[in-house]
Every structure is written in structure tokens, then in C-alpha cells.
Amino acid sequence: MDRLVRLCLWGLAMLLNAVLTHLTAILLLPEVATRDAYHRLADAYGGGPGMILLPPAKPGDHVVPFRDPAVVQGVCFFDLAKAPVRIKANIEEGRMLSLSFRTRTGKIFYSMTDRGALDRKIDVRLVSEAQLAELEARDDENKAPAPELRLQAPSATGLVVATALIARPGEQDGAEVRIKAVTCRPDP
């Protein structure tokens, strides 16, 4: 009996060790990986300003694996150390468009769809904490409400991912036009 208890305790300790090792690896890996989402996309498509249209999804894509072939996507790299970034898009009735704002590691810190548009326009100013304080101080002086959504990013660099849905096979070109029309540039 004593031997059975020791064997069960040993097995439980090994199971607990395995669970802790796997959880630690899963939670820690994105933070210590040298080839995060930002770097993989920048190396493959260039990290320049503006919206970059991603090529259609295909099997075996190692840059952005497991993408949905029923969407067209574009990415915009931002660096708030230089200046705030302005993202603008016009919304077409019945055409889904979403924007997700991500850190360098790919964590989404804000997301919105075409349903969040005002007057069929999306206007977002992506800012750092200091830039937001400066803009709010100017607003207090002018006593005018902000004409855009101001979004404070948790890190100075990251990605904006624009996604357009392809509802029918013949809508690929229209979805690409919608993504290319999204502007994403430093705001002086």
C-alpha cells in the first residue's frame, strides 16, 4: 500500500511538472520569441509606411499561417516614437471591413468593424500616452471635441491589420480596393 501511494504521488508530481512546463512555454514564448509577428511581416513585405496588401492565403504560408481564404488583409506598421499615426477608411454599405490594432508580438489591444464608423467613415488617431496628453491639453484650450477616435497604444511600435470580407468568389478585386483605400500614415 505504501508503495502504491508513493507511485501515485510520483506520477502526480510528474503530471504537475509537465502541466507547468507546457503552460510556462505557451505563455512565455510570445514574449521571448525573436521572430515575432512584426518582424516576420516586416521581413517578408517591407516595414514601410502605409497599408501593405498581403498576398492571397495559400497552404504552406509560413509568414502568416492559417489565414482565411475568404478575406483580404493588409498591414500597416506604426512607430509612435516618431509621430502619432492616423488611420482612415471609407465604408461601403454592406461591405464588411475590420481593423485590429496589435502590439509587435501580435496581441490585439483594440479592434473595430465598419459598424463603428461615423457617417460611413473610420477615423482613428493612434497615439502614445504623452501624445494623448498633449492632444487633450490642446482640446481643453480650444474647447472643441476630438473629431476622431483617439486610441492609446500600449507600445510604441506595432501593426494595424485591415480585413475585408469576400462574400462571393467574384468579390476579390473589390475587397483588395477597399483594403488599398485604407490610409495609415504618420500624423504631423
Give the residue extent of every domain in the chain: 1-32, 37-186
pTM (two decimals): 0.79
Q: How far apart are CA 155 and CA 128, in angstroms?
A: 8
DSSP bridge partners of 121: 90, 118
Q: What is the pLDDT of residues 143-172, one digit of tens each?
A: 766 778 899 999 999 999 999 999 887 888
Q: Hey, what amino acid is at 5?
A: V
pLDDT value, residue 64 = 76
pLDDT value, residue 78 = 92
Report in angstroms the alpha-carbon separations of 40 from 63, 141, 170: 6, 43, 30
pLDDT value, residue 72 = 92
Taking 50 as the pLDDT cut, the residues of the chain under it are none
All three cell numbers of 71, joined, read 478575406
Question: Maximum Cα–Cα distance for the chain, whole Å?
Answer: 81
Candidates 3.30.420.40, 3.40.390.10, 2.30.110.10, 2.60.40.1610; correct CATH number of 37-186?
A: 2.60.40.1610
Name, in order, each residue with C-beta under 8 angstroms of 150's C-beta and a sequence gap of 6 or more.
124, 125, 127, 132, 135
pLDDT value, residue 85 = 94
**Which secondary-structure segment (H or E) carries 172?**
helix 172-180
Cβ atoms 108, 177 nearer than 8 A: no
pLDDT value, residue 65 = 74
